[in-house]
Amino acid sequence: MTGPSSPTTVSYALMWCLCCGLTLLSPRVNAEWGFDATGGFSYDDNLSNSFEADDRKGDTAAVLDVSGGWYEQLTPSTAVSVNVLAHSDTFFHYSGLSNVGVGARAQLRTKLGLGPAVPWLAVAAQGVYHNYHYDYLDGWQYAAGATLGTQLGERWSIRGTIRYDAYVADHSQPPLVPTMVGSPYDVYGWNFGAQAAFLVTTADRVSLSYTWRTGTVTSVTHPDEEIFEYSDRVAVDPVFGAGEFAYRIDANTQTIGIAWSHTLGPHTALNLVYAYRRSQAEYDLGQYYANVLSVNFIYAY
Protein backbone atom coordinates (compact mmCIF):
# COMPACT_ATOMS: atom_id res chain seq x y z
CA MET A 1 0.00 0.00 0.00
CA THR A 2 1.27 3.48 -0.74
CA GLY A 3 0.71 6.78 0.97
CA PRO A 4 2.58 9.17 3.20
CA SER A 5 3.96 7.64 6.37
CA SER A 6 3.76 9.56 9.63
CA PRO A 7 6.72 8.56 11.77
CA THR A 8 6.53 11.93 13.52
CA THR A 9 2.97 11.27 14.66
CA VAL A 10 3.82 7.77 15.81
CA SER A 11 6.84 9.08 17.72
CA TYR A 12 4.69 11.79 19.31
CA ALA A 13 2.15 9.22 20.41
CA LEU A 14 4.83 7.00 21.87
CA MET A 15 6.45 9.92 23.71
CA TRP A 16 3.05 10.93 25.12
CA CYS A 17 2.43 7.42 26.34
CA LEU A 18 5.93 7.26 27.79
CA CYS A 19 5.30 10.45 29.73
CA CYS A 20 2.10 8.94 31.06
CA GLY A 21 4.04 5.84 32.03
CA LEU A 22 6.76 7.81 33.83
CA THR A 23 4.09 9.68 35.73
CA LEU A 24 2.57 6.39 36.71
CA LEU A 25 5.86 5.30 38.27
CA SER A 26 5.76 7.94 41.00
CA PRO A 27 4.71 6.41 44.31
CA ARG A 28 1.10 6.79 45.38
CA VAL A 29 -0.30 6.17 48.84
CA ASN A 30 -3.40 4.23 47.79
CA ALA A 31 -2.32 3.37 44.26
CA GLU A 32 -2.51 -0.01 42.65
CA TRP A 33 -0.81 -1.18 39.49
CA GLY A 34 -3.13 -2.98 37.14
CA PHE A 35 -2.75 -4.96 33.95
CA ASP A 36 -5.34 -6.31 31.53
CA ALA A 37 -4.82 -8.34 28.39
CA THR A 38 -7.49 -9.50 25.97
CA GLY A 39 -6.74 -11.66 22.96
CA GLY A 40 -8.98 -13.36 20.46
CA PHE A 41 -10.65 -13.24 17.07
CA SER A 42 -13.35 -11.08 15.58
CA TYR A 43 -15.33 -11.58 12.38
CA ASP A 44 -17.26 -8.73 10.75
CA ASP A 45 -19.28 -9.54 7.64
CA ASN A 46 -19.49 -5.92 6.49
CA LEU A 47 -16.17 -4.26 7.23
CA SER A 48 -16.66 -1.94 4.27
CA ASN A 49 -19.91 -0.64 5.76
CA SER A 50 -21.57 -1.04 2.38
CA PHE A 51 -25.26 -1.33 1.56
CA GLU A 52 -24.83 -2.93 -1.84
CA ALA A 53 -24.40 -6.68 -1.59
CA ASP A 54 -21.51 -6.67 -4.09
CA ASP A 55 -19.62 -4.15 -1.98
CA ARG A 56 -20.02 -5.92 1.36
CA LYS A 57 -16.68 -7.34 2.46
CA GLY A 58 -16.17 -9.52 5.48
CA ASP A 59 -13.00 -10.67 7.20
CA THR A 60 -11.61 -12.08 10.41
CA ALA A 61 -9.03 -10.34 12.54
CA ALA A 62 -6.80 -11.54 15.34
CA VAL A 63 -7.26 -8.90 18.04
CA LEU A 64 -5.04 -8.06 20.97
CA ASP A 65 -5.67 -5.39 23.61
CA VAL A 66 -3.29 -4.69 26.47
CA SER A 67 -3.65 -2.02 29.11
CA GLY A 68 -1.50 -1.22 32.09
CA GLY A 69 -1.56 1.58 34.57
CA TRP A 70 -2.40 2.67 38.03
CA TYR A 71 -5.59 2.95 39.95
CA GLU A 72 -5.83 5.17 43.01
CA GLN A 73 -8.59 5.29 45.59
CA LEU A 74 -8.91 8.99 46.36
CA THR A 75 -11.71 8.66 48.91
CA PRO A 76 -13.72 5.68 50.18
CA SER A 77 -16.06 6.18 47.22
CA THR A 78 -14.00 7.73 44.43
CA ALA A 79 -11.13 6.35 42.41
CA VAL A 80 -9.07 7.57 39.48
CA SER A 81 -7.25 5.38 37.00
CA VAL A 82 -4.83 6.11 34.19
CA ASN A 83 -3.88 3.40 31.74
CA VAL A 84 -1.59 3.10 28.77
CA LEU A 85 -3.33 1.21 25.97
CA ALA A 86 -1.97 -0.94 23.18
CA HIS A 87 -4.09 -2.51 20.47
CA SER A 88 -3.56 -4.54 17.34
CA ASP A 89 -5.80 -5.93 14.61
CA THR A 90 -4.34 -8.40 12.13
CA PHE A 91 -6.78 -9.09 9.32
CA PHE A 92 -6.49 -12.32 7.44
CA HIS A 93 -7.53 -11.01 4.04
CA TYR A 94 -7.84 -7.21 3.89
CA SER A 95 -4.38 -6.44 5.21
CA GLY A 96 -4.79 -2.70 4.66
CA LEU A 97 -6.98 -2.66 7.76
CA SER A 98 -4.35 -4.30 9.94
CA ASN A 99 -3.18 -1.78 12.48
CA VAL A 100 -1.37 -1.13 15.72
CA GLY A 101 -2.70 1.42 18.20
CA VAL A 102 -1.06 3.08 21.16
CA GLY A 103 -2.78 5.47 23.54
CA ALA A 104 -3.99 6.25 27.00
CA ARG A 105 -7.20 6.30 28.99
CA ALA A 106 -8.17 8.17 32.14
CA GLN A 107 -11.20 7.47 34.26
CA LEU A 108 -12.81 8.85 37.39
CA ARG A 109 -15.31 6.54 39.09
CA THR A 110 -17.42 7.19 42.14
CA LYS A 111 -19.90 5.07 44.08
CA LEU A 112 -22.93 6.94 45.34
CA GLY A 113 -22.98 5.19 48.70
CA LEU A 114 -21.76 2.13 50.58
CA GLY A 115 -22.26 -1.45 49.52
CA PRO A 116 -22.45 -3.45 46.27
CA ALA A 117 -25.96 -2.34 45.29
CA VAL A 118 -25.43 1.44 45.15
CA PRO A 119 -25.22 3.30 41.84
CA TRP A 120 -21.86 4.30 40.45
CA LEU A 121 -20.83 6.97 37.96
CA ALA A 122 -17.75 6.80 35.75
CA VAL A 123 -16.38 9.52 33.49
CA ALA A 124 -13.66 8.51 31.05
CA ALA A 125 -11.65 9.85 28.14
CA GLN A 126 -9.16 8.18 25.87
CA GLY A 127 -6.99 8.82 22.85
CA VAL A 128 -5.40 6.12 20.72
CA TYR A 129 -3.15 6.60 17.69
CA HIS A 130 -3.65 3.93 15.03
CA ASN A 131 -1.00 3.08 12.47
CA TYR A 132 -2.58 1.16 9.61
CA HIS A 133 -1.02 -0.89 6.90
CA TYR A 134 -2.88 1.43 4.51
CA ASP A 135 -1.31 4.74 5.43
CA TYR A 136 -4.26 6.99 4.62
CA LEU A 137 -6.17 5.31 7.45
CA ASP A 138 -3.58 6.40 10.05
CA GLY A 139 -4.95 8.74 12.67
CA TRP A 140 -6.16 9.46 16.16
CA GLN A 141 -9.24 7.91 17.72
CA TYR A 142 -10.79 9.83 20.59
CA ALA A 143 -13.64 9.01 22.91
CA ALA A 144 -15.09 10.61 26.02
CA GLY A 145 -18.18 9.79 27.95
CA ALA A 146 -20.03 8.99 31.13
CA THR A 147 -21.54 5.76 32.40
CA LEU A 148 -24.07 5.35 35.20
CA GLY A 149 -24.60 1.87 36.52
CA THR A 150 -25.91 -0.12 39.45
CA GLN A 151 -26.35 -3.64 40.75
CA LEU A 152 -29.98 -4.76 41.09
CA GLY A 153 -30.14 -7.51 43.66
CA GLU A 154 -27.67 -10.37 43.54
CA ARG A 155 -27.82 -11.24 39.85
CA TRP A 156 -28.78 -8.23 37.75
CA SER A 157 -26.78 -5.17 36.86
CA ILE A 158 -27.61 -2.33 34.50
CA ARG A 159 -25.80 0.65 33.06
CA GLY A 160 -26.39 3.55 30.69
CA THR A 161 -23.72 5.36 28.69
CA ILE A 162 -23.37 8.62 26.80
CA ARG A 163 -20.19 8.84 24.73
CA TYR A 164 -18.73 11.03 22.02
CA ASP A 165 -16.31 9.46 19.55
CA ALA A 166 -14.17 10.92 16.82
CA TYR A 167 -11.56 9.69 14.37
CA VAL A 168 -9.13 12.17 12.82
CA ALA A 169 -7.01 10.89 9.97
CA ASP A 170 -3.46 12.13 9.62
CA HIS A 171 -3.56 12.81 5.92
CA SER A 172 -6.02 13.36 3.14
CA GLN A 173 -5.63 12.10 -0.36
CA PRO A 174 -5.65 14.60 -3.23
CA PRO A 175 -9.33 15.54 -3.71
CA LEU A 176 -11.28 13.86 -6.50
CA VAL A 177 -13.46 16.96 -6.72
CA PRO A 178 -11.97 20.38 -5.91
CA THR A 179 -14.80 21.19 -3.48
CA MET A 180 -14.24 18.03 -1.48
CA VAL A 181 -11.32 18.41 0.87
CA GLY A 182 -10.54 16.29 3.87
CA SER A 183 -10.41 12.60 4.61
CA PRO A 184 -13.54 10.42 4.37
CA TYR A 185 -12.13 8.54 7.34
CA ASP A 186 -12.65 11.55 9.65
CA VAL A 187 -15.81 10.60 11.50
CA TYR A 188 -17.50 11.62 14.71
CA GLY A 189 -20.66 10.77 16.57
CA TRP A 190 -22.69 10.68 19.74
CA ASN A 191 -23.50 7.31 21.26
CA PHE A 192 -26.33 6.52 23.67
CA GLY A 193 -26.31 3.04 25.10
CA ALA A 194 -27.79 0.76 27.73
CA GLN A 195 -26.75 -2.63 28.99
CA ALA A 196 -28.27 -5.22 31.29
CA ALA A 197 -26.26 -8.16 32.64
CA PHE A 198 -27.45 -11.27 34.47
CA LEU A 199 -25.53 -13.91 36.42
CA VAL A 200 -26.85 -17.16 35.01
CA THR A 201 -24.57 -19.14 37.32
CA THR A 202 -21.96 -18.01 39.83
CA ALA A 203 -19.39 -18.09 37.00
CA ASP A 204 -21.43 -17.16 33.93
CA ARG A 205 -22.73 -13.73 33.02
CA VAL A 206 -24.90 -12.89 30.04
CA SER A 207 -25.35 -9.29 28.95
CA LEU A 208 -27.61 -7.58 26.45
CA SER A 209 -26.73 -4.16 25.10
CA TYR A 210 -28.22 -1.55 22.80
CA THR A 211 -26.47 1.51 21.38
CA TRP A 212 -27.83 4.27 19.18
CA ARG A 213 -25.24 6.37 17.42
CA THR A 214 -25.82 9.53 15.43
CA GLY A 215 -23.02 11.06 13.44
CA THR A 216 -20.89 10.37 10.41
CA VAL A 217 -19.70 7.03 9.13
CA THR A 218 -17.39 5.87 6.35
CA SER A 219 -18.74 3.55 3.72
CA VAL A 220 -17.13 1.91 0.70
CA THR A 221 -18.74 1.49 -2.70
CA HIS A 222 -18.05 0.78 -6.36
CA PRO A 223 -18.16 3.92 -8.52
CA ASP A 224 -21.53 5.60 -7.97
CA GLU A 225 -22.33 9.17 -8.95
CA GLU A 226 -24.91 9.40 -6.17
CA ILE A 227 -22.25 9.47 -3.48
CA PHE A 228 -20.79 12.63 -4.93
CA GLU A 229 -24.18 14.26 -4.56
CA TYR A 230 -24.76 13.31 -0.94
CA SER A 231 -21.30 12.99 0.59
CA ASP A 232 -18.93 15.78 1.51
CA ARG A 233 -15.80 13.60 1.34
CA VAL A 234 -14.87 10.95 -1.19
CA ALA A 235 -11.56 9.22 -1.86
CA VAL A 236 -10.16 6.23 -3.66
CA ASP A 237 -10.01 3.27 -1.28
CA PRO A 238 -7.80 0.38 -2.43
CA VAL A 239 -8.18 -1.53 0.86
CA PHE A 240 -11.12 -3.55 -0.45
CA GLY A 241 -9.86 -3.85 -4.00
CA ALA A 242 -9.28 -1.77 -7.08
CA GLY A 243 -12.01 0.61 -8.16
CA GLU A 244 -13.55 1.12 -4.72
CA PHE A 245 -14.29 4.49 -3.19
CA ALA A 246 -14.65 5.50 0.46
CA TYR A 247 -17.14 8.23 1.27
CA ARG A 248 -18.37 9.87 4.44
CA ILE A 249 -22.03 10.29 5.16
CA ASP A 250 -24.36 11.12 8.01
CA ALA A 251 -26.07 8.07 9.47
CA ASN A 252 -27.84 6.76 12.53
CA THR A 253 -26.55 3.39 13.68
CA GLN A 254 -28.23 0.94 16.00
CA THR A 255 -26.22 -1.88 17.52
CA ILE A 256 -27.65 -4.75 19.53
CA GLY A 257 -25.19 -7.01 21.26
CA ILE A 258 -25.31 -10.13 23.36
CA ALA A 259 -22.30 -11.34 25.29
CA TRP A 260 -21.51 -14.36 27.42
CA SER A 261 -18.66 -14.27 29.91
CA HIS A 262 -17.44 -17.40 31.67
CA THR A 263 -15.11 -17.00 34.63
CA LEU A 264 -12.22 -19.45 34.44
CA GLY A 265 -10.44 -18.27 37.59
CA PRO A 266 -10.07 -15.19 39.80
CA HIS A 267 -8.19 -13.36 37.04
CA THR A 268 -9.32 -14.95 33.80
CA ALA A 269 -12.47 -15.27 31.71
CA LEU A 270 -13.62 -16.41 28.30
CA ASN A 271 -15.96 -14.15 26.35
CA LEU A 272 -18.22 -14.68 23.35
CA VAL A 273 -19.87 -11.61 21.83
CA TYR A 274 -22.34 -11.20 18.97
CA ALA A 275 -23.39 -7.80 17.68
CA TYR A 276 -25.86 -6.80 14.97
CA ARG A 277 -25.23 -3.34 13.58
CA ARG A 278 -27.60 -1.47 11.28
CA SER A 279 -27.03 2.01 9.88
CA GLN A 280 -29.61 4.19 8.19
CA ALA A 281 -27.91 6.76 6.00
CA GLU A 282 -29.51 10.14 5.49
CA TYR A 283 -31.15 11.07 2.22
CA ASP A 284 -32.53 7.50 2.10
CA LEU A 285 -29.32 6.30 0.51
CA GLY A 286 -29.97 3.00 2.11
CA GLN A 287 -29.36 0.81 5.09
CA TYR A 288 -26.29 -1.21 5.75
CA TYR A 289 -26.02 -3.86 8.33
CA ALA A 290 -23.32 -6.05 9.76
CA ASN A 291 -22.97 -9.11 11.93
CA VAL A 292 -19.93 -9.17 14.21
CA LEU A 293 -18.86 -12.25 16.17
CA SER A 294 -15.97 -12.15 18.63
CA VAL A 295 -14.39 -14.68 20.93
CA ASN A 296 -11.64 -13.72 23.32
CA PHE A 297 -9.78 -14.59 26.47
CA ILE A 298 -9.18 -11.95 29.13
CA TYR A 299 -6.62 -11.79 31.89
CA ALA A 300 -7.07 -9.08 34.52
CA TYR A 301 -4.44 -8.67 37.22
Partner 1 sequence: MVYGGDAKLLPNAIVVAVPDDGRLPPPGKSVEIVDQIDKEFVPYVKAIRAGSYVRFPNKDNIAHHVYSFSPAKTFELPLYKGTPAQPVLFDKPGVIKLGCNIHDWMVGYLYVTETPYFGKSGRDGHVDLDDLPAGRYHVRIWHPRMEGTEDATVQRVELREDEPALVEWTLKLHPEYRPLRTPLPGEPGYR
Does the footprint of partner 1 cover residue 258 (CB under 8 A)? Answer: no
* Cβ contact 109:86 at 8 Å: no
Q: Tell me which of 267, 276, 282, 283 binds partner 1, using CB under 8 A.
A: 267
Does the footprint of partner 1 cover residue 73 (CB under 8 A)? Answer: yes
| 3-class DSSP state of 45 | coil
**From the CB of residue 202, how many other CB atoms can be counted at a distance below 10 Å?**
9
Does the footprint of partner 1 cover residue 115 (CB under 8 A)? Answer: yes
- List the beta bridge partners of residue 123: 108, 146
Does the footprint of partner 1 cover residue 255 (CB under 8 A)? Answer: no
Cα-to-chain-centroid distance, residue 235: 23
Q: Which ranges in the chain belong to alpha helices (H)?
A: 7-25, 225-230
Q: Residue 190 contacts by C-beta under 8 Å, 6 or more apart in sequence?
A: 162, 163, 164, 213, 214, 215
Q: Tell me which of 57, 109, 163, 277 binds partner 1, using CB under 8 A.
A: 109
* Dist. CA 53–CA 44, nearest whole Å: 14
Nearer to partner 1, 113 or 241 (CB): 113
Does the footprint of partner 1 cover residue 263 (CB under 8 A)? Answer: yes
The least distance separating partner 1 from the CB of residue 244, rounded to whole angstroms, comes to: 29
Q: What is the 8-class DSSP label of residue 241?
A: -
Residues 3-32 binding partner 1 (CB under 8 A) are: 29-32
Q: Residue 284 contacts by C-beta under 8 Å, 6 or more apart in sequence?
A: none
Applying CB under 8 A, the site for partner 1 has a residue count of 51
* Cβ contact 237:245 at 8 Å: yes
What would the x/- binding string for partner 1 be over residues 160 to 199, using CB under 8 A?
A: -------------------------------------x-x
Does the footprint of partner 1 cover residue 124 (CB under 8 A)? Answer: yes
Does the footprint of partner 1 cover residue 266 (CB under 8 A)? Answer: yes
Do the strands 78-91 and 31-44 form a parallel or antiparallel pair, or are they unpaired?
unpaired
Q: Tell me which of 214, 268, 287, 291 binds partner 1, using CB under 8 A.
A: 268
Q: Interface with partner 1 by CB under 8 A: which residues?
A: 29-32, 34, 36, 38, 65, 67, 71, 73, 75-77, 79, 81, 83, 105, 107, 109, 111, 114-116, 122, 124, 147, 151, 154-155, 157, 197, 199, 201-203, 205, 207, 259, 261, 263, 266-269, 271, 273, 294, 296, 298, 300
